[in-house]
Structures are given as C-alpha cells and as structure tokens.
Amino acid sequence: MRKQFTDKVALVTGAGTGIGRASAQALAQVGARVIVADVAAEGGEETLRLIKDADGEATFVQTDVSKAVEVEELIRQTIRIYGHLDYAVNNAGIAGEEAGTISHSEEGWDRVLAINLKGVWLSMRYEIPEMLKQGGAIVNLSSFAGLRGSGGTVAYTASKHGVVGLTKAVALEFARQNIRVNALCPGFVHTPMLQRIFETHPGVQGQLAERSPVGRIAKPEEIAQAVIWLCSDASSFITGACLPVDGGLTAC
C-alpha cells in the first residue's frame, strides 16, 4: 500500500531527541525521506539508526541552526541528496536559564534567542526558496509559553512568543505561493529537556501532570502526529495557525 508521504522530502531540525526525533520517525513511517538535523551528532545518528531499523530512509546532517552558514549548507545537502524539499519541521530549541528579567544573563538571553527564534527564521530563510519551486508546508515548534506568560523563564517565553509572531508573518507573506506555515504550541511533553527539570526539582513531575486539565504529561509521539497532520493535505486550508497541543493547558 502506498504511504501517504511517498516521494516527499522532509527536514526536521533538533531531530536528535524528543519531539524532533518523534517527528522524524513519524514522517519516515508515512513514507517521507527525512533529513535529520541536529547540533549533537550522537543524538542525530541515533535517530537515523532508529529510522533505518524501521525500514525508513533518512540522512543525518549535523547543524547549528543559529549559524546561517550551517543552515545554508543543510539545505544545500538536502537538495543534493534528495533533489527537493516538501516539508520542514523547525523544532530545534533549548530551555535556557531558569531566570527572570533581572537575574537573567545577557549571554544566556542571546543564546536562547539565537537558537529558538533566529534559528527558526534562518531555517525558513533557506527552506522557502526551495519550496517555492513546488510548494510545501512548514511547521515551527513554539510552546504553550508562546501563548501565555511563564514566570522564571523570561528568555524562553520571549523566544516562543517570537516564533508565534514569525509564523504568522511568514504565513501571510507566502499564502498565495503554495507554502503553508503553521506553528505547534505543545504543553508539557516528556522529553529529555523536561526530564532534566524533573531530576533537579523532585516532585515537579507530579505537579505538572496535575496542572494539565487531562491530568498527564504528553508523549513526544502525540506532538508528532500533529506535525504529520499539519504537513498533510488534510490541513490544506490552514496557514498562520498556532495550534495548542497541550491537553487543555491554555484553555484554563
């Protein structure tokens, strides 16, 4: 049986762990050829192995999305290997410091904004010229923190709000050129990023689950299914949307 994304090419940044890995695996499962991009070679290579072990097709390209020259090379390699680009999941991001406005370091602020926001812009800057040739769909990863305030993580919150605004602006810019641009705003998801918080703050896992209206933390695979839908023709009339996938968290 023909898979939904056969003959399609998908790029996932930050694909070495968490939502990025789950998204890369899900795209491969529906037939896409996947470029796995991550700054960490070990994680990226492991995602590549998992996809190939499941009979999927993928290539790993080590990339720091905060550096234009590396993002440009990532897209160059994508086209060299697979010939075109249909889908992009701009997921790479970091949590940064747990700090408020006064206590946050300037260096930490710059690093979070460079990866979480500038990295998404740079990715689209080089992805879109290739998509203009045949159309495409872009999914940017924001957060529930991009839709509401979140005390104590000022740079992260600012960066994720920025992704929401950037997504809307780019969606409008290319709406009539067969490129759809949407964002996902996950709630609490059991990823290595969140696991590190659990390890340094005992008891917080239960507290976060309790805060969720559905009473639990999401699995990365649940966010990946929303990625698949936003890339697919099933969402063909959706662009500029910033979709909460948060178990009702932002409905509170």
CA-CA distance, 76 to 15, in Å (whole number)? Answer: 18
CA-CA distance, 107 to 76, in Å (whole number)? Answer: 30
Positive or negative torsion for Cα 77, 82, 86, 87: negative
Residues with Cβ within 8 Å of 20's Cβ and at least 6 positions away in sequence, in order, are 12, 13, 14, 38, 47, 89, 91, 92
Q: Active site residue: 82, 87, 126, 156, which one?
A: 156
Q: Which of 218, 231, 136 is nearest to 185 (CA)?
A: 218
CA-CA distance, 46 to 244, in Å (whole number)? Answer: 29
CA-CA distance, 59 to 126, in Å (whole number)? Answer: 18
DSSP secondary structure string for all residues of 69-100: HHHHHHHHHHHHHHS---EEEE--------B-
Place of tokens 């003959």: 7
Place of tokens 């023709």: 233
Answer yes or no: 156 catalytic.
yes
CA 119 to chain centre: 11
- Catalytic positions are 156
